[in-house]
Copies of this chain bind each other. A is one copy, B any other.
Amino acid sequence: MSVVVRGIRRADQSTVDGLAALGVATIHEAQGRTGVLDPRLRPIYAGAHVGGSAITVRVPPGDNWMIHAAAEQCRPGDVLVVAPTAPSETGYFGELMATAVQVRGVRGLVIDAGCRDVAELTTMGFPVWSRYVSAIGPVKQALGDVNLPVVCAGVLVRPGDVVVADDDGVVVVARERAEAVLAASLERERREAATRERYRAGELSLDVHGMREQLAERGLTYVDGQPPDDH
């Protein structure tokens, strides 16, 4: 049975936008080193950085019909998250569909498969994080689902979860934890700013973080001169 779920819950837009302004690596750390999608998903152009509420789409291999159905469920501030039911290198998404969803305020696409028209998407400023760039076009013959939970690039994404993507990749934050993760991320940024200043001043991380003793305790030894031949 194929389903489109309407009227999903989303996180507060201010929380979403707060997360959207932060880096993927920071959010990942702040929520306990979880939620990063497989690094094989790469942005189609450098410098893209978006965040939004996930509209999730399950698509059959090589078939993008359900992305059309998903477009209607999108609101300004959303991000499309598309997972094929079997691995696929098809280019599911291009400039025409981007036009259709960009006018609805969709901020970007995350897809564990291929996308195409990357020159046009770059010009439009519609970012995509995909596993492949592939000119191979999809068909429209089989059903899937919209707004059911999906596993995308190895991570569970539920509709309404917050998705943030930048040059480092893509991270998902559970909707219920979005506010807490935002707070933890901001706190982490503050701490890092202080560290950065000390590093810029020439201090070593060994000293800033008191690592020397810990390393010695674990058994780290310092020797002088070239390493022995018998390594």
Contact in complex: A204, B119 (CB < 8 Å): no
Contact in complex: B6, A223 (CB < 8 Å): yes
Q: Does A154 contact B (CB under 8 A)?
A: yes
Contact in complex: B62, A2 (CB < 8 Å): no
Q: A99-B200, A223-B3 are in contact. Are A86 and B88 (CB under 8 A)?
A: yes
Q: Does A171 contact B (CB under 8 A)?
A: yes
Q: A36-B134, A221-B3 are in contact. Are A119 and B47 (CB under 8 A)?
A: yes
- Please give the distance in Å from A42's CB to the nearest CB on chain B: 7
Given B49, B200, B204, which contacts A71 in the complex, CB threshold below 8 Å?
B204
Q: Does A97 contact B (CB under 8 A)?
A: yes
Interface centre among A29, A116, A196 (most CB of B within 10 A): A116
A140–B137 Cα distance when bound, in Å, is 19
A218–B8 Cα distance when bound, in Å, is 24
A29–B72 Cα distance when bound, in Å, is 25
How many protomers of this protein does the assembly include? 6
Q: Does A184 contact B (CB under 8 A)?
A: no
Q: Does A215 contact B (CB under 8 A)?
A: yes
Contact in complex: A136, B4 (CB < 8 Å): no
A99–B193 Cα distance when bound, in Å, is 11
- Please give the distance in Å from A21's CB to the nearest CB on chain B: 13
Q: Does A51 contact B (CB under 8 A)?
A: no
Residues of B within 8 A of A12 (CB): none
Binary contact track A54-72/B, C-beta < 8 Å → 1, others 0: 0000001111010011011
Q: List 30 A-B contacts (CB under 8 A).
A: A1-B219, A1-B221, A3-B221, A3-B223, A4-B220, A6-B224, A6-B225, A33-B137, A39-B89, A39-B134, A39-B135, A46-B119, A61-B90, A65-B211, A68-B209, A69-B206, A69-B220, A86-B134, A87-B87, A87-B89, A91-B168, A99-B200, A100-B205, A103-B199, A119-B168, A134-B168, A135-B168, A135-B169, A151-B154, A174-B231
